[in-house]
Amino acid sequence: MNALEQISQFDQADYRCQLFADNGQLLKTLKLSQVSDALKVKEHFVWLDAHEPSPELTEVIRQLFGLHELSIEDMLNPAQRAKIETYDNSVFILIRSATQLNDELKVGLGSVAVFFAEQFAVVIRIGRTASLDQFTQSVFTSPNILNHGPVGVVHGVLDHAIDGYLQITDELSEYVSGAESLIFSDRFDSETLKQLYHIKVQVIRLRAALMPHQDICNYFLNHKQNGELGFKSSELKPYFRDVLDHILRASDAVNNSSEMISVAIDTYTTAVSMQQNIIVRKLSAWAGILAVPTLFSSFYGMNFEHMPELSFQYSYPIFVTLMLTICVLLWRSFRRIKWL
């Protein structure tokens, strides 16, 4: 059974499809069965948005808009990096979105696939894309974005995704700055080291997800005019330069945070090692001091039969005085070299 024959079985709760004029004005809401006719009118364009569509709905969308099967495969791959690919009748862009899951800076990554041509923009969101959910709710009524046609949708989605990275990097910078009190603590805390390692892992994930988006912006900044795919390069280049600037800012923040965390981990482990060395020195010093009375006591505990000093009247006070004198001298020596 052809996938297009199953169009009627999908409820509009599974997707959102609307028709726009060239100036970004919303004309009407469409059903999937109306998309083919809408695509025949060159003065209009269709925007379809879906969140984690079923395999059946994905196949229907692919056939309706003539999307390449390799782009669908990349879209469904959770490990796929951000990328842009040009096919015969459309351009495929995969954007990695980032959201902060909790106060401990655990980052959730999602995927936003954008397929666009002169008369359509298809946005399919997979995974954690909360910030983009808010964006798609508001952008349908925003002619400032939509008056640039389908490629304006690309800019809006990409810009909103990168803003999510900036929010996380701001939180990350504050957290790293506030970690100084933990780093220079006098006591070793394994939780501190776990927290620093956790943040380091999140920073590495963020950097890997963020960096490829530069290629997407560079594509639009350096691409020649292409009317068949709905490019309006002269109008949109300033917008994509702005997004590229945001990417570079977020990238710098991520790199700086990564370096600061690496320094923090090294500093913390060094401080802990130094603290342990101080403790070892103190124990060694006290062991040296206590070795003196131990030596004297063991000497007179050997039970020899002939020990002349035992019969001497002042042997005990001399013995105690000598022992205490040596202990005090050792204590002062250790204090002078700051072992105690």
pLDDT in tens, 27-40: 888 888 888 888 88
Q: What is the pLDDT of residues 48-90, one digit of tens each?
A: 988 888 888 899 899 989 999 999 999 999 889 999 999 888 8
The terminus-to-terminus CA distance of the chain in angstroms comes to 86
Residue 289 shares a structural domain with residue 243: no
Residues 254, 167 contacting (CB under 8 angstroms): no
Residue 240 shares a structural domain with residue 332: no
Where is mean pLDDT largest: 241-245, 278-282, 292-296? Answer: 241-245
What is the domain-level CATH number for residue 193? 3.30.460.20
Residue 301 shares a structural domain with residue 163: no
> Which tokens sit at 254?
């991520």
Residues spanned by the domain of 194 = 3-272
pTM beyond cutoff 0.85: no
How many Cα neighbours within 13 Å face the side chain of 254? 23
- Out of 272, 301, 318, pick the residue that ends a domain: 272
Residue 42, pLDDT above cutoff 80:
yes
Q: Given pLDDT bands bounded at 50, 70 and 90, which one contains residue 213?
A: very high
For residue 293, with 0-12 CB atoms within 10 Å meaning exposed, 13-18 middle and 19 or more buried, which class applies? middle
- Out of 217, 252, 272, pick the residue that ends a domain: 272
Is residue 4 classed as helix, strand or coil in its secondary structure?
Answer: helix
Residue 324 shares a structural domain with residue 222: no
Task: Classify the phi-psi angles of 326: left when phi > 0, otherwise alpha if psi is within -120 to 50, otherwise beta.
Answer: alpha
Residue 151 shares a structural domain with residue 134: yes
Residue 102, pLDDT above cutoff 90:
no
Residue 120 shares a structural domain with residue 207: yes
Per-residue burial over 17-29, b if 16 or more Cβ lie within 10 Å, else e, is bbbbbeebeeeee
What is the domain-level CATH number for residue 321? 1.20.58
Residue 191 shares a structural domain with residue 328: no
Q: Given pLDDT bands bounded at 50, 70 and 90, which one contains residue 228?
A: very low
| Phi, psi of 29, deg, nearest 5 | -90, 140
> Which tokens sit at 132?
């983009």
Residue 150 shares a structural domain with residue 244: yes
Taking residue 280's Cβ as centre, other Cβ atoms within 10 Å add up to 11
Task: Output the pLDDT for position 92.
Answer: 95
Number of structural domains, the chain? 2
Residues 214, 247 contacting (CB under 8 angstroms): yes
Residue 167 shares a structural domain with residue 288: no
Residue 244 shares a structural domain with residue 137: yes
- Out of 236, 256, 272, pick the residue that ends a domain: 272
Residue 323 shares a structural domain with residue 220: no
Residue 139 shares a structural domain with residue 279: no
Residues 257, 172 contacting (CB under 8 angstroms): yes
Residue 211: partners with Cβ closer than 8 Å, 6 or more residues away: 251
